[in-house]
């Protein structure tokens, strides 16, 4: 009998190819006769190109062509309100307008990368610079979001009967906490630089690139190139990280495809690391003000969350940090959410792991910790006293929620009972020791997906869907799910993804790929087993020809009935079939979606040490317990949760790209100056999941967890720092200069 791999520790099926260097990433595909492109970028923040001299570049060795405003690529400006316009609302190289510093203004194509790079340095540009709006200072004029849902959830005010306003509800509260927060620019910093190889065959183009959404990429590229989506194929066999940066197609793909069409030969374009920092979307700046009103025992009476987020004039992700966090987490009779944008002349923004939730949770969960201090209620107990059993405001039931168990299990595993409420109470020599905690929440997204399951005559199976594995382990999830449902070993299942020609798959974003794909694989496996049974009783060459299909059963890769058994491979061989395929589309039923709120939940517990003399903060212990439905692969789940927590530690302590307000330059746009956590910054992280299948989500009861670990973990670090030092910081990152003796937290105003 085959033991199901579901929920076990399963090695990645592509692991060997990756660690041995055999795995081909975007720029690795061996394409004959490929030319190399290099991007020239603007050096002013806003203005017009008066002149561009490309003569020296064109005369340089190996140069094939220089494309720019005077010799453009025939790209199409996306129509307002379309998905393509959401990424960037103009077409690169099509005009002389400079919208931000680091914008692509020309592309040099040569026989080698080095020749293209060196020639690009010979392009000289004369600008007419204009004054740029670059600052998101507190009190900046903002605009109300004008975007379709769910991108822009409406402002929200819910008041108890007889309460006239949120201000009145706060004024009637016995304890009020108010805090203003600032969070700076952050970047995805995926290991693989953004790159693309474009190969045309007649009127169709194949683009090899890193993508989190192969099918969507074909649509976006088609819109930019002015061709039908069916004329674009996107291949992303391996993707070296994304974290949101590869949900959309950026200018690496667009310019490579445009240049290859003009040149009439394949073109490879690999962005430099600095170009990735500017031309690829990032997490934008945001200011928040959170106000909490409660009884003296800590029961919430009013919650208010206002946010002003950066929205570049060129377009990008509309950061709405109160969405899906403050409106979903705690029970309160009075709730107010107001979200605005501040238009700026900066590079495009885009979704980054926990796009709204990570910034929103830092503000909310820090304010909750301040409420715990103000009321004298333990932070875990405070959250239990305000536990929401239904969605605040709507009253809809959660599909499954065991957050209270996460709090209790996490507190026990971490040793929370040893925490001392008074700051600076625990010391070890020159180190101040503190503990903090916070809540994690992330939407339990699921989208329509088609998956294919094919039984092969050699007793193997192929599971396919046009989604992407950017290192999250989805390839292995396909293999595990197929093996589980077909009752065969994982080694006999070949998973296929990363190609837009496969059955339409999920976007590997919003923690939905596993939750969306697993139900379709389960359904397709059931359908192919039904087709196998039908084949067995209808094909004259089958030993069960003419039998009643109800007398046949399928288990562990074989059909059984009438006193005989036969593997599906042997049956297919007997009837002369190479394979048998079922492709099945599933989605969450509309009735279920309307009835329930779908979220995953978690609880973070953190211990830090802060040097009393230097202010240096160090995370020394971290425990996370989550409720994310059933886990498909324990090994991958652990990896994703640990990675999410590391993201939060980086958000809390390290990540910032300072903006030069006189030039518009993001000054730390390289891997030397932009700080991310390394091994020396991270302790052993204890992660645990409840493994409670969600009965409403479908399939195996799986919800996403890839982003859950990021949400709230920065707040847990900040709350622990307060417990250690008595210093409360609302401006990230919390660097040692902000924790030096005599530092003034009152000076932490929300400015860039």
Write out pLDDT tens, residues 134-143.
Answer: 988 755 666 6
Burial class of residue 59 in the structure, from the number of CB atoms within 10 Å of its CB (0-12 exposed, 13-18 middle, 19+ buried): exposed
CA distance 451 to 495: 11
Tell me the Cα Rg of the chain: 27
> Residue 750: what pLDDT?
31
CA distance 249 to 254: 7
Closest by CA to 447, choosing from 212, 727, 234, is 212
Place of tokens 């003034």: 744
Residue 323 in this model has a pLDDT that exceeds 80: no
CA distance 274 to 365: 33
> Are residues 291 and 304 in contact, defined by beta-carbon separation less than 8 angstroms?
yes
CA distance 217 to 417: 50
Question: What does the block give as tokens for 433?
Answer: 């020791």
Run of H or E residues at 580: strand 579-586
> Residue 394: what pLDDT?
82
CA distance 631 to 7: 5
Q: Which long-range contacts (CB under 8 A, 24 or more apart) does 96-99 make?
A: 96/48, 96/49, 96/50, 96/69, 97/48, 97/49, 98/42, 98/44, 98/45, 98/46, 98/47, 98/48, 98/49, 98/127, 99/46, 99/312, 99/313, 99/314, 99/345
Write out pLDDT tens, residues 636-691.
Answer: 999 999 999 999 999 999 999 999 999 999 999 999 999 999 999 999 999 999 99
List Cα–Cα distances, 436 to 68, 372, 416, 490, 713, in angstroms: 53, 11, 9, 41, 10
Q: Residue 147: which pLDDT band, with cuts at 50, 70 and 90? A: low
Question: Across all residues in the chain, what is the average pLDDT?
Answer: 95
Q: DSSP assignment, residue 537?
A: H
How many other CB atoms sit within 10 Å of the CB of residue 51? 12
Q: Residue 746: which pLDDT band, with cuts at 50, 70 and 90? A: very low
N- to C-terminal Cα separation, the chain: 62
660 is annotated as an active-site residue: no
Sketch out the chain's domains with CATH numbers.
Answer: 15-21+447-587 (3.30.365.10), 31-131+189-279 (3.30.365.10), 286-445+594-747 (3.30.365.10)
Helix (H, G, I), strand (E, B) or coil at 659: strand
> Residue 153: what pLDDT?
67
Write out pLDDT tens, residues 425-455.
Answer: 999 999 999 999 999 999 999 999 999 999 9
Write out pLDDT tens, residues 253-310.
Answer: 999 999 999 999 999 999 999 999 999 999 999 999 999 999 999 999 999 999 999 9
Q: Are strands 300-312 and 335-344 parallel, antiparallel or unpaired?
A: parallel
Q: Which residues, at least 6 apart from 159, have a Cβ–Cβ distance to it below 8 Å?
A: 165, 166, 169, 333, 334
The residue annotated as part of the active site, out of 65, 597, 707, 748, is: 707
Query: Helix H segments across 466-623?
Result: 474-486, 513-538, 568-574, 590-595
List Cα–Cα distances, 605 to 21, 600, 710, in angstroms: 37, 17, 13
> Residue 82: what pLDDT?
81
> Residue 86: what pLDDT?
81
CA geometry: angle 85, 88, 93, nearest 5 deg: 115
């Amino acid at each position: 009998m085959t033991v199901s791999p579901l929920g076990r520790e399963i090695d990645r099926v592509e692991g060997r190819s990756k660690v041995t260097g055999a795995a081909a990433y975007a720029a690795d595909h061996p394409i004959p006769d490929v030319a190399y492109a290099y991007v020239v970028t603007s050096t002013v923040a806003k203005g017009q190109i008066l002149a561009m001299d490309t003569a020296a570049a064109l005369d340089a060795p190996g140069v094939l062509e220089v494309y720019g405003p005077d010799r453009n690529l025939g790209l199409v400006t996306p129509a307002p309100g379309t998905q393509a316009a959401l990424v960037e609302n103009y077409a690169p190289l099509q005009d002389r307008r400079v919208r931000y510093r680091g914008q692509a203004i020309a592309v040099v194509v040569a026989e080698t990368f080095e020749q293209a790079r060196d020639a690009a340095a010979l392009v000289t540009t004369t600008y007419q610079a204009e004054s740029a709006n670059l600052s998101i200072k507190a009190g900046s004029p903002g605009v109300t979001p004008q975007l379709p849902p769910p991108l822009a959830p409406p402002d929200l005010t819910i008041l108890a009967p007889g309460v006239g306003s949120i201000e009145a509800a706060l004024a009637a509260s016995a304890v009020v906490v108010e805090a203003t927060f600032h969070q700076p620019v952050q970047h995805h910093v995926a290991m693989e630089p953004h790159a693309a190889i474009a190969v045309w065959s007649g009127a169709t183009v194949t683009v090899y690139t890193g993508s989190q959404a192969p099918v969507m990429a074909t649509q976006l590229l088609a819109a930019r190139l002015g061709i039908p989506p069916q004329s674009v194929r996107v291949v992303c066999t391996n993707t070296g990280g994304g974290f949101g940066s590869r949900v959309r197609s950026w200018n690496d793909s667009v310019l490579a495809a445009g240049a290859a069409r003009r040149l009439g030969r394949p073109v490879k374009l690999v962005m430099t690391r600095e170009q990735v920092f500017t031309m690829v979307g990032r997490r934008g700046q945001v200011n928040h003000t959170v106000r909490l009103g409660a009884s003296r025992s800590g029961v919430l009476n009013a919650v208010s969350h206002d946010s002003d987020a950066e929205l570049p004039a060129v377009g990008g992700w509309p950061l709405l940090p109160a969405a899906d966090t403050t409106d979903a987490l705690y029970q309160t009779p009075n709730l107010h959410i107001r979200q605005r944008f501040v238009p700026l002349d900066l590079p495009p923004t885009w979704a980054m792991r926990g796009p709204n939730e990570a910034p929103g949770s830092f503000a909310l969960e820090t304010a909750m910790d301040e409420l715990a201090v103000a009321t004298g209620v333990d932070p875990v107990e405070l959250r239990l006293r305000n536990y929401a059993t239904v969605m605040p405001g709507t009253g809809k039931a959660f599909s499954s929620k065991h957050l209270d168990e996460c709090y209790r299990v996490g507190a026990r595993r971490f040793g929370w009972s040893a925490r001392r409420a008074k700051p600076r109470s625990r010391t070890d020599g020159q180190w101040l020791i503190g503990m903090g905690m916070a809540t994690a929440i992330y939407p339990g997204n699921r989208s329509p997906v088609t998956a294919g399951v094919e039984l092969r005559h050699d007793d193997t199976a192929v599971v396919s869907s046009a989604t992407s594995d950017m290192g999250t382990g989805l390839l292995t999830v396909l293999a595990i799910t197929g093996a589980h449902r077909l009752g065969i070993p994982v080694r006999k299942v070949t998973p296929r993804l990363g190609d837009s020609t496969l059955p339409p798959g999920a976007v590997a974003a919003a923690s939905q790929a596993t939750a969306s794909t697993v139900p379709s694989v389960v359904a397709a496996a059931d359908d192919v087993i039904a087709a196998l049974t039908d084949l067995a009783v209808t094909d004259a060459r089958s030993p069960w020809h003419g039998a009643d299909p109800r007398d046949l059963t399928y288990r562990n890769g074989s059909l059984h009935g009438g006193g005989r058994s036969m593997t599906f491979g042997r049956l297919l061989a007997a009837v002369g079939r190479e394979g048998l395929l079922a492709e099945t589309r599933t989605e969450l039923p509309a009735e279920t979606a309307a009835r329930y709120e779908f979220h995953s939940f978690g609880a973070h517990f953190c211990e830090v040490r802060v040097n009393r003399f230097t202010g240096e903060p160090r995370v020394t212990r971290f425990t996370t317990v989550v409720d994310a439905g059933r886990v498909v692969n324990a090994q991958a789940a652990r990896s994703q949760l640990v990675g999410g927590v590391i993201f939060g530690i980086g958000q809390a302590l390290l990540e910032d790209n300072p903006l030069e307000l006189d030039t518009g330059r993001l000054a730390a746009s390289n891997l030397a100056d932009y700080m991310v956590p390394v091994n020396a910054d991270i302790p052993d992280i204890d992660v645990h999941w409840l493994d409670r299948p969600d009965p409403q989500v479908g399939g195996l009861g799986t919800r996403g967890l890839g982003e859950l670990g990021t949400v709230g973990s920065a707040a847990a670090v900040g709350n622990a720092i307060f417990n250690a030092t008595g210093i409360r910081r609302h401006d990230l990152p919390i660097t040692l200069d902000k924790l030096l003796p005599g530092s003034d937290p009152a000076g932490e105003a929300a400015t860039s």
